[in-house]
Structure 1
Amino acid sequence: MGKLSVTKINKELLRFDDHDLDDEFLGVAVLLDHLGNPKHTGLALCFEGEKLFFHFNGEVLLDDVTDSTSNIYYKKLEIFPDSYLTYIRGHFDLLLNTVTPLYGFVFTDSFYDEFGTYVSEIENLPDFCTCVGFCINVIRSLFLKPTTKYIEINDWTNESLEKVSEVYIEMVDKYLLLVKELNPQFLPEIKKKNYKRIAPTELLLSGFLAQPKKLPVRKSDINPHVLETRKILKEKWIASED
């Protein structure tokens, strides 16, 4: 894949509301707030006449947005063949009824297996994730080999939490007491290595960079495009409001 350009981002970053139902796909998506800023992320699926938004906001949800107005913008993922969409749709239903994550800025080498079981490099760690972490685990669960990394989470550090609201940090700290109860020896290492945030815009950009033979996506490839992508999202949102 060539260098990612502003033109390509602007062309391929699309509004879910405007999508043709006949064009079926799976994509990485962001939900914009009332000011046009990306506040949340999920997976967009257009399949058999439905537009679905699969995401985690404290609970796992599979929202049908076919006939509703939303501020969802997406980038198609090019790492799965179209023939895989039937399986993806069924797998979303499986995960919807199986997984029960807790909200937390904890990123480990983790994924859901084909049965919806949470698998982590840290034994007996509860399923902690943000909306972004949930999407990463779901994407990995769709790989023939879920041990394949989609994005290199170790490229992010706890410095990524600097702009996170103290309210969220306090909430997550309470959840981490579960880790202290189950595996107290892991808590210091988690706070040092696994306590971090990957922003919705960063995950959205992974959709432009992910290629079957060029995984995982690296932060160094995402970083140069974050500000420009946020600007493009804002411009598209303003245009949609006119």
Structure 2
Amino acid sequence: MENKLELFDNADLVTIKNCEFETDFVAISCEITDEGFCKHSGLIISFDESIYYFHFTGVKVHLEDITKTLDSFDSTYIKKLEVIVEEDVVSFLGHCQKLKNKGVKPAYGFVFNDSYYDSNTKQSFLLNAKHDITTCVGFCIKVIRGFIFNNEEYIKLEDWDEDSLESVEQWLFDYINKYLKIYADKNGVSVEDLYSNNELKRILPSELLSSTYFIELPIPKSDIDNVRPSLEKYLISQKKVA
């Protein structure tokens, strides 16, 4: 299947508050700052007239029924994830419920590796890694990848490298030397055991949201880069209008 690049179209990029939930679907969500910048990613599942929000806050994983509180999400935009068809939404919701019930508990950090969540395994839901260290974006990627084709990537992670961390260099230095050190000591391993050099990278919430414009997997960074500037510009313009 050929992966056609779609020019940015804001028609299906709407706030949760203004979305029509007449059909079942899975969407990627992005919380927007007052200035219009993307700051937090999550997954929205619309099933049987109920709406669920599955996300990692950096501290805890939440699966929330937000059906009656949609008005409070006027700063969270969503776009449907076309790689998950309507008939599979109920299974995807079950996938998320199993992960939540299994007690998935990632630690926060800019580690992107080959791991994903398999909700059907009886022993460990995390595959291809010993330690679950991730961001809100990485969490979504692991959930999606574990559902769609298991060991096939959703986003082509190797396209991002340490240059993506330039905007958070000081934070990363402190993170490695403080937070990861504490995590390593707690788990009886060395800091070096927690990640490989090519696993430290950053994928932005706006990049994850831009991935919804494509259906052929894995989605390369070059495709996302063709959509992201227009998407970010549009979100900023909406905040200026508001």
After TM superposition, the score normalised by the length of structure 1 is 0.86
Residues 173 and 235 of structure 1: CA distance in aligned 2, closer, same or farther (over 3 Å): same
Counterparts of 1:53 and 1:64, CA distance in 2: 6
2:237 alignment partner AA: E
Name the structure 1 match of 2:64. 63
Check the 8 A contact 2:117/2:127 in 1, yes or no: yes
Name the structure 2 match of 1:72. 76
Check the 8 A contact 1:105/1:172 in 2, yes or no: no
Given the alignment of the two structures, is residue 142 of structure 1 paired with residue 147 of structure 2, yes or no?
A: yes
Structure 1: runs of 5+ lacking an equivalent: none
Residues 176 and 184 of structure 1: CA distance in aligned 2, closer, same or farther (over 3 Å): closer
Counterparts of 2:78 and 2:163, CA distance in 1: 27
Given the alignment of the two structures, is residue 205 of structure 1 paired with residue 210 of structure 2, yes or no?
A: yes
Deviation at 1:137, TM superposition (A): 0.3
Residues 102 and 184 of structure 1: CA distance in aligned 2, closer, same or farther (over 3 Å): closer
Counterparts of 1:169 and 1:54, CA distance in 2: 30
Check the 8 A contact 2:111/2:199 in 1, yes or no: yes
1:219 alignment partner AA: K
Paired residues, number: 229
1:62 alignment partner AA: L
Counterparts of 2:100 and 2:239, CA distance in 1: 30
Counterparts of 2:212 and 2:177, CA distance in 1: 31
Name the structure 1 match of 2:125. 117
1:92 alignment partner AA: C
Given the alignment of the two structures, is residue 152 of structure 1 paired with residue 156 of structure 2, yes or no?
A: yes
Counterparts of 1:96 and 1:202, CA distance in 2: 25
Deviation at 1:185, TM superposition (A): 5.7
The 3-state SS of whatever aligns with 2:229 is helix
1:182 alignment partner AA: V
195-204 or 69-78: bigger deviation? 69-78
Name the structure 2 match of 1:182. 189
Residues 16 and 184 of structure 1: CA distance in aligned 2, closer, same or farther (over 3 Å): closer
Counterparts of 2:206 and 2:54, CA distance in 1: 17
Given the alignment of the two structures, is residue 21 of structure 1 paired with residue 53 of structure 2, yes or no?
A: no
After TM superposition, the score normalised by the length of structure 2 is 0.86
- Structure with the bigger RCO (C-alpha within 8 Å, sep 6+) is 2
Identity percentage over the alignment?
A: 33
Structure 2: runs of 5+ lacking an equivalent: none
Residues 135 and 2 of structure 1: CA distance in aligned 2, closer, same or farther (over 3 Å): same
Name the structure 1 match of 2:46. 46
Deviation at 1:49, TM superposition (A): 2.0
Name the structure 2 match of 1:131. 136
Given the alignment of the two structures, is residue 90 of structure 1 paired with residue 94 of structure 2, yes or no?
A: yes
Name the structure 2 match of 1:231. 233
CA RMSD of aligned residues (A): 2.1
Residues 173 and 85 of structure 1: CA distance in aligned 2, closer, same or farther (over 3 Å): farther
Check the 8 A contact 2:5/2:223 in 1, yes or no: no
Residues 18 and 165 of structure 1: CA distance in aligned 2, closer, same or farther (over 3 Å): farther
